[in-house]
Structure 1
Amino acid sequence: MNDVIDVKARETRKELPNGSGFAAPQADAAALQRADGLKTVGWISYLLHLIVAVAAVVPGFQVSIALLIVAFVIDLVKKDDAAGTWQESHFSWRIRSVVWAGILYLVTSPLFLLLLLPGMLAWAVVSIWFLYRIVRGMVAMNDNRPVGV
């Protein structure tokens, strides 16, 4: 039975670049814990974005912009922690989504104020686009892969 390979043990042991042996499992455990922490932060941010996005699409379902600001600040603060990981794209994705949605809402706001129906249609399109971006990001996060690639 010497042919049996413990795949889990091989995955957690990484050979050091200088060939002097294997890295300590604690380093791998720390990296896994960091990745799990980033994923948890990502899910919290996505859920806050999702609440705001659904509220923007569903008439009469309004939430505070504070949720969006909280999620945006979380993404800005934690983005550097995700540098070099597959999750880095998710932080950039959410930040860009909020910035572009904000710009599009500002650009279309005169339509909303001057001509109600065209303004409502423009804001509906922006809101649906924002919801799409959040859902697309959540699907990619669930599959443990970068988004927008």
Structure 2
Amino acid sequence: MRDDIVESRSLDPQQMDGLKAWGWVSYVLHLIVAVAAVVPSAQPSIALLVIALIIDLVKRSDAVGTWQASHFSWRIRTVIWAGVLYLVTAPLWLLFIFPGWIAWGIISIWFLYRIVRGMVAMNKDQAVDI
């Protein structure tokens, strides 16, 4: 955890628990998609990722000034970067199957790592290093 991230906004425990519950819902949806991305023939709907992203975008403003704000930003950035990386490497599938498979495998493992790392920090009630 970074020392410069401090909880500058105090929410009552019920509000903090609500934010954390939404955070867990989002992480679980991300985790389902991330695991399926690295397991052959297990493809959940992209709808799960879109639902998680919408949750993060809507609830992020409620978390401003708390340690949980970093988690909302972490998940949003993870999805955006993964999407960009998948799009940039998509032509490798059209030109050469094997490099496309390698690139998407690496991106999927990175995505899974980011989600698990965030879940570990959330479980410890800590901000995620950004």
- What TM-score comes out, normalization by structure 2 length? 0.91
Q: Which of 92, 95, 100 is equivalent to 1:119?
A: 100
Q: Which amino acid aligns with 1:106?
A: L
Alignment of structure 1 residues 128-143 onto 2, 5 Å = 128-143=109-124
Shift of 1:114: 1.2
Secondary structure in structure 2 of the residue aligned to 1:52:
helix
Question: In 2, Cα distance between the equivalents of 1:43 and 1:113?
Answer: 37
Q: Which amino acid aligns with 1:95?
A: I
Secondary structure in structure 1 of the residue aligned to 2:67:
coil
Question: In 1, Cα distance between the equivalents of 2:80 and 2:124?
Answer: 25
Q: Which of 59, 70, 73 is equivalent to 2:51?
A: 70
Q: Deviations over 1:79-110 (max 9, x none)?
A: 00000000000000000000000000000000
Shift of 1:148: 1.4
Q: Which amino acid aligns with 2:27?
A: Y
Q: Deviations over 1:88-140 (max 9, x none)?
A: 00000000000000000000000012100000000000000000000000000
The reply to whether residue 38 of structure 1 matches residue 19 of structure 2 is: yes
Larger gyration radius, structure 1 or structure 2: 1
Q: Which amino acid aligns with 2:42?
A: F
Which structure carries more relative contact order (alpha carbon 8 Å, separation 6+)? 2
- Unmatched segments (≥5 aa) in structure 1: 1-27
Matched residue, 1:79: 60
Count of paired positions = 121
Alignment of structure 1 residues 91-106 onto 2, 5 Å = 91-106=72-87
Question: In 2, Cα distance between the equivalents of 1:145 and 1:117?
Answer: 39
Greater displacement, 30-39 / 43-52:
30-39
- Unmatched segments (≥5 aa) in structure 2: 1-9
- What TM-score comes out, normalization by structure 1 length? 0.79
Question: In 2, Cα distance between the equivalents of 1:40 and 1:113?
Answer: 41
